């Protein structure tokens, strides 16, 4: 596709499959429409005329869809998705130029499929912090319960010791949303702590985030890190480090606070909703990243944030499996809260369009 005014546009008009889509009053509007169509993989040519610009669709089989997009554009050219299309199309063009340069440099090389983005600085940092915290926390618990040769070591390593008093770990106490101890609660052993998140109120604000680094078992850690590697790398590469970090922090805070105040368990055959500080893990953030990718792949595919539908089914199914209680205590509230935050942020441009009376899809 050519920019306005190029002679190849005129030559391309002679192709029998090309059809003129529209004539727009200025080059900026024509280019915006063409860029939007390009993000939908509809190839176009823009031709500069004396007092207007013509937009041509190269493949007449795509003309019907192009006309629908034209109707949306002419009815609301200020829709945010059209402005976003300019940047997305520019990114696509730069990528094609790099691919073309690579082909010119190595004409005999076979074309390779696009590889997944490599993890960025924040993804590496989150994984490294989680692994280091796991080593320190689990190592202390193993040492305090008889050492590596003790019968308890294997259970601690794989999170199979529900009776274990994790409150003895200084790592747990430093990173939990609030420090806690084991004590009598309603006539049975439970966790006790100062009400009102006093430590956070007195400046220890990191506790709103740091529970995400606590993992209770090697499988728990490995599963979360693998998914973080995949989802985090994609979002950090496509949306930038600072947007990615903001998404991480927001989902962490919301999921941690929600889990603390709304821990849901079965007790004596009845559903119990109460506060509980003994939780941790990256799962709430993982579900936030999942929700964000899910919405972006649905409503903003031009961003390149694709998500396999089977992954959607798998993670939603896993959410309900965890809720069933068959795999033991799980921070279900954190999962749901993280998913909610990710979905809302991912769908926000579309939701804004709906509120203004115009869908962005």
Q: What is the mean pLDDT of residues 11-39?
A: 76
> Residue 212 in contact with residue 256, Cβ under 8 Å?
yes
**Residue 48 pLDDT exceeds 50:** yes
Q: What residues contact 183, with CB distance under 8 A and at least 6 apart?
A: 189, 190, 191, 192
- What are the b/e assignments for 192-206, b being 16+ CB within 10 Å? ebeeebebeeeebee
In the numeric block, the tokens 């954190």 are attached to 334
Q: Where in the chain is the domain with CATH 3.30.70.2350?
A: 19-91
Q: Rounded mean pLDDT of 1-23?
A: 55
Is the pLDDT at 43 greater than 90? The verdict is no
- Averaged pLDDT score across all residues of the chain: 83
Which phi and psi (to 5°) does residue 192 adopt?
-125, 145
Structure confidence at residue 205 (pLDDT): 96
- Supply the pLDDT for residue 168: 76
Per-residue pLDDT band at 355 (split at 50, 70, 90): confident
Q: Using CA atoms, how far apart are residues 36 and 85, in angstroms rounded to an integer? A: 5
- Using a pLDDT cut of 70, give the percent of the chain over it: 82
Is 1.20.1540.10 the CATH classification of the domain at 121-356? Answer: yes
Q: What is each CA distance from 90 to 32, 81, 84, 266, 287, in whole angstroms?
A: 11, 14, 10, 53, 31
Rounded CA separation 257/277 (Å): 10
pTM of the shown model: 0.66
Query: Pairing mode, if any, of strands 263-267 and 181-185?
Result: unpaired
Quick: pLDDT tens for 149-191.
888 888 888 887 766 767 778 998 999 999 887 654 554 555 6
pLDDT digits (tens, 9 = 90+) for 92-121: 777 777 777 666 665 444 444 456 788 899
Tell me what the mean pLDDT of segment 256-271 comes to. Answer: 80
Q: What is the mean pLDDT of residues 287-304?
A: 93
Structure token pair of residue 312: 């959607």
Residue 12 in this model has a pLDDT that exceeds 60: no
Q: What is the pLDDT of residues 49-104, one digit of tens each?
A: 888 888 888 888 888 888 888 888 888 888 888 878 777 877 777 777 777 766 66
pLDDT of residue 269: 64
The pLDDT-based confidence of 193 (bands split at 50, 70, 90) is: low
Q: What's the CA gap between 178 and 171, in Å, rounded?
A: 12
Structure tokens at 358: 């115009």
Smallest Cα–Cα separation from 292: which of 334, 340, 337?
340
Residue 266's pLDDT is 67
Is a pLDDT exceeding 70 seen at residue 123?
A: yes
* Confidence grade of residue 3 (pLDDT, cut at 50, 70, 90): very low
Of 62 and 215, the one with more pLDDT: 215
Dist CA 226 CA 256 (whole Å): 21
Residue by residue, DSSP assigns 296-339 as HHHH-GGG-----HHHHHHHHHHHHHHHHTTTS---HHHHHHHH
Please determine, looking at this structure, whether the domain spanning 19-91 carries the CATH number 3.30.70.2350: yes
C-beta separation of 168 from 225 below 8 A: no
The confidence score (pLDDT) of residue 104 equals 61
Could you give the residue range(s) of every CATH 1.20.1540.10 domain in the chain?
Answer: 121-356
Give the contacts of 181 (CB within 8 A, at least 6 positions apart): 167, 191, 192, 193
Looking at per-residue pLDDT, the higher value among 294 and 323 belongs to 294
The pLDDT tens digits of the residues spanning 333-343 come to 999 999 999 99
pLDDT tens, position by position, 237-253: 999 999 999 999 999 99
In tens, the pLDDT along 134-146 reads 999 999 999 988 8
Rg, Å, the chain Cα set: 27
The C-alpha atoms of residue 332 and residue 336 are separated, in whole angstroms, by: 6
């Amino acid at each position: 596709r050519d920019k306005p005014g190029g002679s190849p546009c005129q030559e391309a008009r002679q192709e029998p499959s090309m059809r003129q889509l529209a004539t727009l009053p200025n080059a900026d509007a024509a280019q915006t429409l063409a860029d939007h169509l390009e993000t939908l993989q509809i190839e176009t040519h823009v031709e500069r005329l004396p007092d207007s610009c013509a937009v041509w669709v190269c493949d007449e089989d795509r003309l019907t869809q192009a006309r629908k997009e034209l109707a949306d554009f002419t009815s609301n050219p200020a829709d945010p998705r059209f402005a976003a299309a300019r940047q997305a199309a520019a990114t696509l063009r730069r990528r094609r130029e790099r691919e073309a340069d690579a082909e010119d440099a190595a004409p005999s090389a076979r074309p390779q499929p696009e590889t997944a983005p490599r993890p960025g600085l924040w993804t590496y940092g989150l994984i490294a912090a989680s692994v280091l915290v796991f080593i320190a926390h689990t190592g202390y618990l193993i040492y305090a319960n008889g050492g590596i040769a003790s019968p308890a070591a294997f259970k601690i390593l794989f999170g199979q010791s529900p009776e274990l008093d994790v409150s003895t770990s200084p790592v747990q106490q430093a990173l939990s949303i609030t420090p806690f101890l084991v004590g009598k609660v309603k006539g049975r052993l439970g966790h006790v702590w100062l009400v009102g998140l006093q430590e956070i109120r007195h400046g220890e604000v990191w506790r709103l985030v740091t529970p995400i680094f606590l993992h209770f078992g090697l499988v728990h850690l490995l599963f979360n890190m693998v998914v973080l590697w995949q989802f985090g790398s994609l979002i950090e590469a496509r949306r930038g480090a600072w947007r990615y970090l903001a998404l991480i922090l927001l989902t962490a805070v919301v999921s941690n606070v929600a889990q603390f105040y709304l821990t849901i368990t079965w007790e004596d055959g009845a559903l119990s909703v109460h506060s509980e500080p003994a939780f941790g893990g990256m799962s709430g953030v993982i579900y936030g990243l999942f929700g964000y990718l899910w919405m972006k792949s649905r409503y903003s595919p031009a961003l390149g944030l694709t998500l396999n539908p089977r992954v959607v089914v798998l993670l939603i199914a896993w959410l309900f499996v965890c809720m069933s209680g068959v795999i033991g205590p799980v921070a279900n509230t954190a999962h749901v809260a993280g998913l909610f935050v990710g979905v809302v942020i991912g769908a926000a441009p579309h939701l804004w369009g709906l509120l203004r009376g115009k869908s962005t899809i």
